[in-house]
Structure 1
């Protein structure tokens, strides 16, 4: 349908799933995991639709405060899943791991923006402007953290992201 209309479309995707998924966080919402399964899917869609005259804009939001990223609900789900793990797995991670996880989700939630208008403004610009961009990074963290991290070597981005994650009891920092 879009091919025939020579229309515009926009693809919201996770900025955490940038090239190669190098900035994916283990505590990311399920949407990031789903989009991270094929991080180049939006780019492939954009390239595939271009010969038909369809202009595709990719919107890559950073972290935003929504119900799916609420630390209380994430912690509740995590603790529920933690209780269902075998005791040997719990021992490998250590009995303090759930508390460390809860603290890390709280820190990530504080870094998230409450202004969802940044995403809707990007969508509006992508659909209504005369010359829309091919990519939009919505949010300060998308521009200042995730985008630069996506260009870093994997070892460096893993090290930086590792500062925000809890370390299992039997793991190494």
Structure 2
């Protein structure tokens, strides 16, 4: 019986490997629009696809990002200024792309732009922290996608949205996981709605990779800023030594799981763009496949217990008004 099951699994894996090898033809005629190309995954994907012969349209937030990208790419790569939180900027970029691609349409959009800070205990945050991150990570994804969706329909192309494994499981507080859960839901609805038009929608769900988002210094600065602005009564709830003891532990544990090989993510993005039969979801990173994903299927009591041990938590004061059982 076990051999039979192993045979079925092996056959399915071989079939999937063979099926996923097939690539779409005429990549030199296809335009790919990528957001967040100033650094990290977006910049690496833009240069990678440029070398493969795609017509890349790289959305950059800064002039410096545009200039640096032009220096390391071919003349066929086009940069465009893009602030995904500004609908006017998104609209201008879409109008430029419409003129550039003409009747060919847009083969793919890759919504890569994202931020990870501020993140921290929920009661350290204010609603504006949530609004600022959702504006980039969720509403920016939706706005950019809708702005070019008619062009993707023309090409019967692809929408590739970068979510996160933290769109499946929530080990820490703040708006990051909230935004990524939203991207997952948007992906699911868009995939169903666009299937009749021949459009394929893929989600990239990376684990922890070494980028500006997971930089230990940035993480520490973020937590310091949040701690400094807390009212004294909240600091007292956590204890004055909480910040000093917790930050180092948190940064160290995240660093243990961080992968420096960004091409694992970029390869998944490329496959979602170029494969005749792309996957619905990609999970780059060993931590995503073998740690975070399995945890997302476990009972809540188990995940809560594990995360409380992994991530430093508060040890609240015992109020003098509380009854202590003997």
Whether the 8 Å CA contact 1:46–1:55 is kept in 2: the answer is yes
Who is 1:153 aligned against?
Answer: 299
Q: Does 1:16 align with 2:166?
A: yes
Task: Output the CA distance in 1 between the equivalents of 2:182 and 2:203.
Answer: 17
Stretches of structure 1 that go unaligned for 5 or more consecutive residues are none
Stretches of structure 2 that go unaligned for 5 or more consecutive residues are 1-149, 318-326
Who is 1:75 aligned against?
Answer: 220
Who is 2:129 aligned against?
Answer: none
Q: Secondary structure at the match of 2:205?
A: strand
- Name the larger-Rg structure: 2
Higher relative contact order (CA 8 A, sep 6+): 1
Q: Secondary structure at the match of 2:283?
A: strand
Task: Output the CA distance in 2 between the equivalents of 1:137 and 1:48.
Answer: 23
Whether the 8 Å CA contact 2:206–2:265 is kept in 1: the answer is yes
Who is 2:211 aligned against?
Answer: 66
Whether the 8 Å CA contact 1:15–1:62 is kept in 2: the answer is yes
1:93 is aligned, of 225, 232, 238, to: 238
User: Cα offset for 1:54?
Assistant: 0.3
TM-score, length-scaled by structure 2: 0.48
Who is 2:66 aligned against?
Answer: none
The 1:114/1:129 distance shift into structure 2, 3 A limit, reads same
The 1:38/1:153 distance shift into structure 2, 3 A limit, reads farther
Who is 1:45 aligned against?
Answer: 190
Whether the 8 Å CA contact 1:7–1:55 is kept in 2: the answer is yes
How many residue pairs get matched?
Answer: 167
User: Cα offset for 1:96?
Assistant: 2.1
Runs of 4+ residues deviating >4 angstroms:
none
TM-score, length-scaled by structure 1: 0.87
Task: Output the CA distance in 2 between the equivalents of 1:38 and 1:115.
Answer: 24
Whether the 8 Å CA contact 1:101–1:165 is kept in 2: the answer is no
User: Cα RMSD (Å) of the superposition?
Assistant: 2.1
User: Cα offset for 1:105?
Assistant: 2.2
Task: Output the CA distance in 2 between the equivalents of 1:33 and 1:101.
Answer: 22
